[in-house]
Chain A
Amino acid sequence: MAEQVSSLLRRSVDHLADEVPDSYRLVLERLGQMVVELDVDGELFSLRGGHRLEVADGAADTARARIATSRAAILDVLDARVALGEAVETGTVAVRGTLDDVQRAHDTLLAYAHAAVRAPSQPALLAALRAGPS
């Protein structure tokens, strides 16, 4: 059975804290106290800021930004087949929240991506994401 996306994200942020602590702190700084709820192919979980990044299972009532997408859409963006803006415009990545909160979620995503491309553990996690149903 494929590893859940929430589990991959949890492992990913734990590795970032260990391998690229400065970049990890930048992600924390960008996210602040905000909670972002994610729905990937129906799997609901959230990313929470604060003293450390936390991935929690299930719906998040306090979420200020909500993102619904699929493994396939995530891989399309990571493999550069589709630009992130195009994915949002076509609805394969759906984002809800106030403009400020969506902007903050976007800034956090970029900080996370900057951290991930600097961390040696992440290619294996990307391979695990690919191994899941798409």
Chain B
Amino acid sequence: MTAALAGSDFLRAPVLATAHAAGFKEWHHFVVHGAGRRLLINFSLTNETSRTGGNRLAPRVIVISHEKQWTGAIERFDDSELDVSADLGVVSIGPNRMVVRPDGYQVVIDLPGQDIRGELNFTSASRPFVVNNQPLGEGRMCWLFVPRLRADGWLHIGGQEHHVDGELAYHDHNWGRFWWGDDFGWTWGTILSQTPRNPWSMVFLRMTDRRRLRCLSQALYVWHHDEPAAIFRHAGVQTRSCGRLGRAADCTLPAPMRLLLDGEMSDVPERVEIDATRAGDSVHAEFRPQSYARLAQPSEVSLDRSTVLCETNGTAQASGSINGERIDFVGTGVFEFLYG
């Protein structure tokens, strides 16, 4: 199981962004489902085309944390501060570093201007899975995810030091060529039990058009211990978004983007219900958002629009059965709602 990570989770940018730079994006994303606390870390590379037609990869490090409310930072670095190792397994952005190991990941964070620093080790507890060529407007995206890892280490953020000791975590790695603001939206979620020994892990994805009127694809991925137990796709999945959360974002990052977003609220729902059935297996999962941070970036298809990612924490519960094994747990969810 573990060797699969080093074999498949390597940086794509040095090859793919060199071959065809337009619209290329890549990021490594980590979510820690701690007891009463969520941490989200993202190492991101985005191709930018200059006026003279030259291309550069803009590196960013995002670290946000939720205990009572979301707080954190997005820091952009100069492209000269980006380094990818020859074997494509280490990405350094200034003093920040992410290493793909045979059995997991090491993440070092050092954002002195934001008073954020830390070191976390993520050890894989489940087999990774790759989804290729997911359509996103005029573009395509591939993603690899590891539904369950064990996180250990520490993070200093918001003036506090957080120790992470064997907490459950999720990882995904996304790459492809697409444009923020193009005709797509998504809901993306990780659901894990509050009880670390509970064997079930779930990942949910729903791709829509920008206005969320048309579902383009959706899937619920369910892992039992370290192996895939069931993958429910398309018409085998029914999703309902109910109500509106009705509260302002805890924070908007980068802060200057707040000036460009209308109003305080986003369309984060009050509840997401997912029903999945296939070949005698069935799962019902429910996610109830509690609060969210808005991560905003300029649209790449319109000069006066922005794309907003709402990183949302909440409670989750799941029930059903797969291969005769009963599912019944209460847990935590971290969902991302993208509004183009």
Contact = CB atoms under 8 A, between A and B. Distances in A.
B279 interface: no
Interface stretch (A56-64, A75-83, A95-103): A75-83
Given A18-B51, A19-B50, A26 B303 contact: yes
B284 interface: no
B51 A117 contact: no
B258 interface: yes
Interface stretch (A2-10, A39-47, A106-114): A106-114
A129 B194 CA distance: 46
Contacts of B48: 120
B260 A117 contact: yes
B256 A117 contact: yes
Contact of B303 (A114, A116, A120, A123): A114
Contacts of B251: 80
Nearest to B254: A117
Q: Say what secondary structure dominates the interface of chain B.
A: mixed
B131 interface: no
Residue in B76, B252, B258 whose Cβ sees the most chain A Cβ within 10 Å: B258
Q: Say what secondary structure dominates the interface of chain A.
A: helix
Interface in A2-26: 18-23, 26
Residue in A20, A79, A83, A117 whose Cβ sees the most chain B Cβ within 10 Å: A117
A79 B257 CA distance: 9
Nearest to A26: B303
A118 B304 CA distance: 11
Residue in A114, A115, A116 whose Cβ sees the most chain B Cβ within 10 Å: A114
A128 interface: no
A126 B260 CA distance: 17
B255 A78 contact: yes
B51 A19 contact: yes
A34 interface: no
B51 A78 contact: no
Nearest to A81: B255
A22 B258 CA distance: 22
A84 interface: yes
A116 B258 CA distance: 13
Interface string B31-62: 00000000000000000101100000010000
Nearest to A77: B259
